[in-house]
Structure 1
Amino acid sequence: MSEATMAELYERNLAALERRAPGLVPVLRSIAAPKSRLCGSLEHGELNLDLGHARLYEPDARQFADSQLANYRLRPTRMYINLPKCPRQPELIPHFVLRAVFDHFAELSVPAFPTDPHEHAGFMIVYGIGLGLHLPELVENYDFRHLILVEQFAEFIHHSLHLVDWAAWLDRLEARGGTVRFLIGTDPGQMAQRIYWDLRHGQFGLIDGAYVYRHYSSYLLDKAEELFREKLPVLGVGAGFFEDEEKMLRNTFANLAECDFSLLEPKRRLEKPVPALIVGSGPSIDGAIEELRRLRESAVLFSCGTALGVLLRNGIKPDFHCEVENDPQVWEHLSDYRRWTDFDGITLIASTTVDPRIPGLFPERILYFRDTVSSTGFFGKNFKAVYGAAPTVTNLGLRAALIFGFRDIYLFGVDLGTRRPDLHHSKDSFYLTDETWKATHTKQIEPMCHELPGNF
Structure 2
Amino acid sequence: MLWQQFQNNMAAFQQFDPNVYDFFKDYEPKRFVVDIVDGFPNILDIEENEYLYNYPAYLIARGQVDSYKDEPKSAGAAFEMNDDNEAGFIHSDTLNQILKVLVNRVEKNGDQVRKLSKLVNSLMVFGVGCGYHIELLSIEHDIKNLYVIEPELDVFYASLFITNWAQVLEKVERCDLKIHFSLGAEQESFFEEVRRQSDLYGHYNIAKTYGFIHYHAEKISALTTEFKQRYAEFIQGWGFFDDAMMATSHMLTSIKQGVPMVKKRSLNENPLSDYPVLVIGNGPSLDGLVEFIKAHQDKAIIVSCGTALSALYQYGIIPDIHCEQERTYPIAKQIEYYCPPEVLDNLILWGPSTLHPDVYAKFPLKVMGLKGAEPTAPLIMESSVSELFEVQPFINPTVANTASSMALAFGFNNIYLLGVDLGHKKGGSHHSAKSMYYTQDGDDLEMYDSNAVSDLELEGNFGGVFHTDSFFGGSRRTLEYLIAGYPEQNFYNLSDGALIKGAVPTPSDTVTFNAGVIENKKEQLCSIMANCSHAGEEPLFEELANDLDYDGYEAFCLALIDAIDNLERNSEAYLELLKQHFLMLIDDKVCLRNHHYQTLKGTVLHVQAMLARILFEAVDEQDALDDFALAAMYYKQFLKDSISYYKENALKPHYYDTKWLAPLEESAKPK
TM-score w.r.t. length of structure 1: 0.57
Kindly indicate whether the alpha-carbon contact (under 8 Å) linking 2:73 and 2:211 is maintained by their aligned counterparts in 1.
Answer: yes
Of 338, 346, 349, the residue aligned with 1:340 is: 346
In the alignment, which residue of structure 2 is the partner of 1:130?
A: 129
Kindly indicate whether the alpha-carbon contact (under 8 Å) linking 1:121 and 1:208 is maintained by their aligned counterparts in 2.
Answer: no
- CA 1:355–1:142 in structure 2 vs 1: closer, same or farther (change >3 Å)? farther
Structure 2 unaligned regions, length at least 5: 255-259, 266-274, 382-390, 408-412, 455-464, 467-495, 498-671
Q: Distance in 2 between matches of 1:293 and 1:339?
A: 21
Kindly indicate whether the alpha-carbon contact (under 8 Å) linking 1:191 and 1:224 is maintained by their aligned counterparts in 2.
Answer: no
Q: Is 1:280 matched up with 2:284?
A: no
In the alignment, which residue of structure 2 is the partner of 1:153?
A: 152
In the alignment, which residue of structure 2 is the partner of 1:437?
A: none
Give the aligned residue type for 1:58: N
The Cα shift of 1:215 comes to 0.9
The Cα shift of 1:36 comes to 1.5
In the alignment, which residue of structure 1 is the partner of 2:54?
A: 58
- CA 1:186–1:311 in structure 2 vs 1: closer, same or farther (change >3 Å)? same
Q: Distance in 2 between matches of 1:81 and 1:7?
A: 41
Give the aligned residue type for 2:434: L
Q: Which has the higher contact order (CA 8 A, sep 6+)?
A: 2
Matches within 5 A, 1:247-396: 247-248=246-247, 279-282=280-283, 284-285=285-286, 288-292=289-293, 304-305=305-306, 307=308, 314=317, 324-327=325-328, 339-342=345-348, 350=352, 354=355, 365=369, 367-369=371-373, 390=397, 392-394=398-400
Kindly indicate whether the alpha-carbon contact (under 8 Å) linking 1:136 and 1:169 is maintained by their aligned counterparts in 2.
Answer: yes
Q: Which has the larger radius of gyration?
A: 2
In the alignment, which residue of structure 2 is the partner of 1:37?
A: 33
Q: Which moved more, 1:173-182 or 1:78-87?
A: 78-87
Q: Which moved more, 1:361-370 or 1:124-133?
A: 361-370
Q: Is 1:47 matched up with 2:44?
A: no
Kindly indicate whether the alpha-carbon contact (under 8 Å) linking 2:12 and 2:169 is maintained by their aligned counterparts in 1.
Answer: no
Alpha-carbon RMSD across the aligned residues, in angstroms, is 6.5
Matches within 5 A, 1:144-223: 144-161=143-160, 164=163, 166=165, 169=168, 172-173=171-172, 176=176, 178=178, 180=180, 182=182, 184-185=184-185, 203-205=202-204, 210-222=209-221
Kindly indicate whether the alpha-carbon contact (under 8 Å) linking 2:311 and 2:435 is maintained by their aligned counterparts in 1.
Answer: no
The Cα shift of 1:216 comes to 1.0
- CA 1:338–1:161 in structure 2 vs 1: closer, same or farther (change >3 Å)? farther
Q: Is 1:93 matched up with 2:97?
A: no
Kindly indicate whether the alpha-carbon contact (under 8 Å) linking 2:2 and 2:162 is maintained by their aligned counterparts in 1.
Answer: no
- CA 1:252–1:11 in structure 2 vs 1: closer, same or farther (change >3 Å)? farther
- CA 1:289–1:29 in structure 2 vs 1: closer, same or farther (change >3 Å)? farther
- What whole-Å deviation, never above 9, does each CA across 1:321-350 have from its counterpart, x for those lacking one? 97642335668969998853557xxxx785
Give the aligned residue type for 1:213: F
Percent identity at matched positions?
A: 17
Q: Distance in 2 between matches of 1:261 and 1:330?
A: 25
In the alignment, which residue of structure 1 is the partner of 2:138?
A: 139
- CA 1:60–1:262 in structure 2 vs 1: closer, same or farther (change >3 Å)? farther
- What whole-Å deviation, never above 9, does each CA across 1:280-330 have from its counterpart, x for those lacking one? 034653652452476799999986445579889957668xx9764233566
Kindly indicate whether the alpha-carbon contact (under 8 Å) linking 2:319 and 2:347 is maintained by their aligned counterparts in 1.
Answer: no
In the alignment, which residue of structure 1 is the partner of 2:65?
A: 69
In the alignment, which residue of structure 1 is the partner of 2:6?
A: 6
- CA 1:276–1:85 in structure 2 vs 1: closer, same or farther (change >3 Å)? closer
Q: Distance in 1 between matches of 2:85 and 2:330?
A: 29
In the alignment, which residue of structure 2 is the partner of 1:424?
A: 435
Kindly indicate whether the alpha-carbon contact (under 8 Å) linking 1:126 and 1:214 is maintained by their aligned counterparts in 2.
Answer: yes
Q: Distance in 2 between matches of 1:409 and 1:7?
A: 57
SS in 2 for 1:134: helix
- CA 1:418–1:76 in structure 2 vs 1: closer, same or farther (change >3 Å)? closer
- CA 1:366–1:162 in structure 2 vs 1: closer, same or farther (change >3 Å)? farther
In the alignment, which residue of structure 1 is the partner of 2:549?
A: none
SS in 1 for 2:122: strand
Kindly indicate whether the alpha-carbon contact (under 8 Å) linking 1:48 and 1:57 is maintained by their aligned counterparts in 2.
Answer: yes
SS in 1 for 2:40: coil
SS in 1 for 2:65: helix
Give the aligned residue type for 2:286: I
Of 419, 438, 449, the residue aligned with 1:412 is: 419
- What whole-Å deviation, never above 9, does each CA across 1:37-74 have from its counterpart, x for those lacking one? 22249xx9622221113121233444433443344344
Q: Distance in 1 between matches of 2:395 and 2:163?
A: 36
The Cα shift of 1:126 comes to 1.5
